[in-house]
């Protein structure tokens, strides 16, 4: 995979927006040399989708459910692998690895060499990267967040994950399978993240009701989320992770 810094400016978005003027994100492109990795991700996504769909009835509904689960697993696994490769590139060694991924809609975990964990959440965005990073609603809430733990499972002294990372795809999820096969035009963005302490601090997090049909969660309920504007930009986040590992 090819990683490239990209500055996103608010002046390129004309709608209702936050005051922050820019973000620096990491743009990720797939290269021809990634074919073996992509084949593995596709095989694993198919396996997970089949497992998740094994109890479904036969027919159109079953096929539709499989396709949804497959795209969920495919986008999640690809985001996870991109973040692992980025961290290891930044560390200049194998500092991050994948944990077992057993559910097509559950969060993705990365294990660091110091046994700290990272949760990666990915979303497909139909309205463009600038919309995701800068747009806000009339009530000043942003549309996109860094998604944290299910609030009912929150215990301040028991971190669910040590870090959270956010990945965005500039595509309608309906077209995700075709998009990933178009190597020359594929791109994704690792935009920012947060720490567990931020998920515990009401200066950053808010509670948001999320549903499986319109969010990257597998269970409806209130989640701790941090608006992307309040997250840690990706380069400072990588420095924070590095300092945590080498201390």
Mean pLDDT in each 10-residue stretch from start to end of the chain (247 residues)? 94 89 94 90 89 56 80 91 96 90 59 93 87 86 86 67 93 87 89 94 90 65 89 96 90
Note whether 143 and 126 are within 8 A (CB).
no
Tokens describing residue 166: 């956010």
pLDDT recorded at residue 110: 93
Q: Report the predicted TM-score, pTM, of the whole model to 2 decimal places.
A: 0.89
Long-range contacts of 98-103 (CB under 8 A, 24+ apart): 101/44, 101/48, 101/73, 101/76, 101/77, 102/48, 103/48, 103/52, 103/218
DSSP bridge partners of 192 = 166, 233
**Strands 163-169, 145-150: parallel, antiparallel or unpaired by DSSP?**
unpaired
Note whether 111 and 78 are within 8 A (CB).
no
Note whether 165 and 190 are within 8 A (CB).
yes
């Amino acid at each position: 995979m090819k990683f490239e810094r990209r500055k996103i400016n608010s002046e390129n978005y004309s709608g209702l927006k936050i005051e922050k003027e820019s973000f620096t994100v990491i743009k990720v492109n797939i290269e021809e040399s990634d074919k073996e990795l992509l084949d593995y991700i596709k095989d694993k996504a198919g396996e997970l989708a089949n497992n998740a769909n094994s109890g479904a009835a036969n027919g159109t509904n079953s096929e539709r459910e499989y396709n949804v689960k497959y795209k969920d697993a495919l986008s999640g696994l690809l985001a996870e692998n991109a973040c692992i490769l980025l961290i290891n590139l930044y560390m200049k060694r194998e500092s991050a690895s994948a944990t077992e991924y057993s559910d097509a809609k559950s969060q993705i975990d990365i294990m660091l060499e110091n046994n700290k964990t990272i949760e990666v959440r990915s979303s497909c965005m139909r309205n463009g990267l600038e919309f995701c990073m800068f747009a806000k609603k009339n009530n000043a809430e942003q549309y996109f967040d860094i998604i944290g733990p299910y609030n009912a499972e929150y215990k301040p002294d028991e971190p669910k994950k040590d870090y959270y990372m956010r990945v965005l795809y500039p595509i309608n999820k309906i077209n995700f399978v075709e998009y990933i096969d178009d190597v020359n035009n594929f791109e994704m963005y690792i935009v920012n993240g947060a720490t567990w302490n931020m998920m515990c601090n009401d200066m950053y997090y808010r509670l948001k009701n999320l549903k499986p049909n319109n969010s990257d969660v597998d269970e409806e309920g209130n989640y701790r989320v941090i608006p992307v504007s309040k997250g840690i930009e990706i380069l400072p986040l990588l420095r924070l992770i590095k300092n945590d590992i080498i201390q």
